[in-house]
Amino acid sequence: MTRLRNLALGGLAALAITSAASTAFADEPGSFQNRLQGATIGLPLGAAPPPGLYTGLETAYLGEVGTSGKDAGNWATLTGGRVGLPAIAQAMPLLWSTGWSFLGANYSTAVVLAWYTYETCGPNPCNTTIGGGFVAANPTWTPINLSWNLQNGWFVSAGFNFMAPIGSRYTGTPNPDYWTLEPTFAVSYIANNWVASLNLFYDFNLNSTGPCCLLSTAATAGDTWHHGDILYGDITVLYKFGKWSIGPVGYFEVQTTNDNVTGPTGAATCATFCGNYSNVAVGGLVGYDFGPVDIQVWVTDVVEAQNTPAGVGAVFVWSRLGFKLWSPEAPKPLVAKN
């Protein structure tokens, strides 16, 4: 049980609490701001790690994908045909588990810096490169995350993230110019060689004064874009045997409110580019505990998609390593003088 808790609460906490990366692919102007769906798979975010400073690296290979739904009026309009979007996304977090107690909970704070390279190509088949480049994603900040130990292996957490629009800014960059506010909630079970977690995020997107993101060629300066709000969920169920862990994983994302565009092009632009989207994927994860470093690898397959280039059948490969940078010294025992 000690090694299991170290696995779940220690090394893998390198990416805990916050989201991992801005999305390197999406259908609508706002969705590039939001975290990479599935990025917290394998992390029991309901439980705070032991006091200390953690970091690590997460990598996602987002292979060539098809298109789904609304991108007939979005990506196809921009490229003259169906597009693929190969990308490699990486994220490096810095998490401080303070050891402080607030409202009976353990308090943590974090920041995640992410970057990715991407390429747009088309028409179908994806045999012509249209654009791409290197992007420093808008960073994700977590000023507060609170974790409560409910005993008997159960933990819950609640926190708040925000994405600041200070990443790469150049024409065609899938990096929006607006803020996103993101409350979070997670429930985790860590006991009896099992690690299970449901990590939930809800994004409130603020206004963008376009042109924005990859739609810069289709938007008009002076338009005000507002991307609808989004609910994300990452699901993990792992079984631990020895130093190995294995189990099914999945994620979902659902846009819960409508997009809106006001300004010179207004309703006409939104009629082409706006559209609620959803995405569901399932897969499996394998992890190994090396002691000071923990490694996880997982694969996800999109099984439902609407209005996103990540069409059904898109397969993504992920890896994560995490380790502790620093931990406070244990209190020294008092020695009585004679």
Average pLDDT value for the chain: 78
Indicate the Cα dihedral angle 167, 169, 173, 174, nearest 10°: 40
Determine the 3-state secondary structure of 159 from DSSP. Answer: strand
Query: Of the candidates 194, 240, 230, 298, which has an alpha carbon nearest to the alpha carbon of residue 19?
Result: 230
For residue 2 the two structure tokens come to: 């000690």
pLDDT at 135 (0 to 100): 84
User: Which residue has better confidence, 137 or 248?
Assistant: 248
What are the tens digits of pLDDT across the range 57-85?
999 987 655 555 544 333 433 444 444 55
Report d(CA 77, CA 311) in Å as an integer.
Answer: 17
- Asked if residues 289 and 10 have their Cβ atoms less than 8 Å apart, the reply is no
What are the tens digits of pLDDT across the range 225-239?
788 899 999 999 999
- Asked if residues 22 and 100 have their Cβ atoms less than 8 Å apart, the reply is no
pLDDT at 219 (0 to 100): 52
Please give the DSSP secondary-structure letter assigned to residue 35.
B
Strand-by-strand arrangement of the 260-262 sheet: 208-209, 224-226, 260-262
- Asked if residues 47 and 157 have their Cβ atoms less than 8 Å apart, the reply is yes
What are the tens digits of pLDDT across the range 124-135?
555 566 666 788
Least confident of 85-99, 100-114, 283-297: 85-99
For residue 126 the two structure tokens come to: 């994806």
What are the tens digits of pLDDT across the range 298-326?
999 999 988 776 678 888 999 999 999 99
pLDDT at 159 (0 to 100): 97
**Percent of the chain scoring above 90 in pLDDT:** 46
- Asked if residues 150 and 22 have their Cβ atoms less than 8 Å apart, the reply is no
Q: Per-residue DSSP letters for 91-117?
A: EEEEEEEEEEEETTEEEEEEEEEEEEE
Query: Which residues, other chains included, contact 246 with Cβ-Cβ below 8 Å and sequence gap of 6+?
Result: 238, 239, 284, 285, 286, 287
| pTM: predicted TM-score of the whole model, two decimal places | 0.83
Distances (CA, A) of 142 to 79, 179, 256, 313: 37, 14, 23, 33
Query: From its phi and psi, is residue 13 left (phi > 0), alpha (psi between -120 and 50) or beta?
Result: alpha
Report d(CA 277, CA 71) in Å as an integer.
Answer: 10
What average pLDDT does the segment 261-266 reach? 73
Query: Of the candidates 171, 168, 175, which has an alpha carbon nearest to the alpha carbon of residue 22?
Result: 175
| Structural domains of the chain sorted by starting position, each given as residue range(s) with its CATH number in brackets | 2-326 (2.40.160.40)
Query: Of the candidates 281, 287, 190, which has an alpha carbon nearest to the alpha carbon of residue 247?
Result: 287
